[in-house]
Structure 1
């Protein structure tokens, strides 16, 4: 049976060759690097869709490649036999520092195996659990924690300063993550994550939740600083 590794290696190799040959070109040199990356990510997803929606290997192995709607929590989804469900986020980076992952929904899926856009509410008679805010997010994750220990959230990473350098990894296999208190939950330096780390589900849960908690502590410190400075001034009277 085809494994996630087989699928992602095939996609990675195809994209690397396409970049080196010039079939796929990144948007570079614009005034806004973030907009350049977004355009490149969209172009790459569209190009991969054209390739793998008609790919013989995919057809022979019962695989489907589905691009996501705009601004979705993944860029494309590969599904296959045996319940294979691989959400993939395309990331383009200079590898010069840490990048935001903005992987709130990806983290939810990696820890539960439940589609964050379609979370059944317990005994809700078809009612869905909205998890946009953090309180219901944590409640829902706790309820479904470990429901599917094979689930993961994948990244296809492209080095814009080394054309053709492409690799894949996943949230549960990241070598290192940085807590991000201003844009929960994580940042990652892709140069430190080119080698995947194999973990049990328990090990990956402890790793991901540990860094997530660090990010929450960082966010709480902002409130403490506000109370100790601006809040204190307000309590003392603005005219004093």
Structure 2
């Protein structure tokens, strides 16, 4: 039997965030006839995404979730105002494990089935992944020396962090690590830094001068004052050490065109 829905196409490309519900608007090109009872539009999602709901304006409620918790469909049913049904449907989805490069990600497919169960037209469901301009930095840490501070009677640990950075056009970078309660920065680094004494997180930051193009310093030396005069092997290494840098003029990829 002739299909009532001729084409299906996603109208817009939403900017998605992991774990947050997104609204996808799907346009339906039809013959203009009423859809028959039993026809359905089915969303089949990838492993890390799921359908939360579907809605079609001026149509009887037909959303049905699938037992797997990811997929769902909209079942066409007769209603008093079915002659006014809109040729579009809203599909609400939540995505996970998205990349952070601003790329277009296919998260599922949307397919029309006739009342007889015959597969018809289909379209991919897509979102724009979040864009994070930060680039993970390779770091090398080294304990240079350790001694007892005569004034405080506590032990000092002298550290060096070496940064793997591009030669040019770095806008700024940050390096963070975690220290135990009571451990303080003793000899300050040449960079700006913050120390959240509640969480123990120390963050070193640097931003390029306005017209600078070269990355000159790739090492940061500093000293930590512990809470004891005794040597603590745990302070040989910096816990949760990580770093990122951002390039000048980091672009957001342009929208993908069909």
The TM-score by the shorter chain falls in which range?
Answer: under 0.3
Q: Which has the higher helix share?
A: 1
Structure 1 length normalisation: TM-score? 0.21
Structure 2 length normalisation: TM-score? 0.20
Structure number, greater radius of gyration: 2
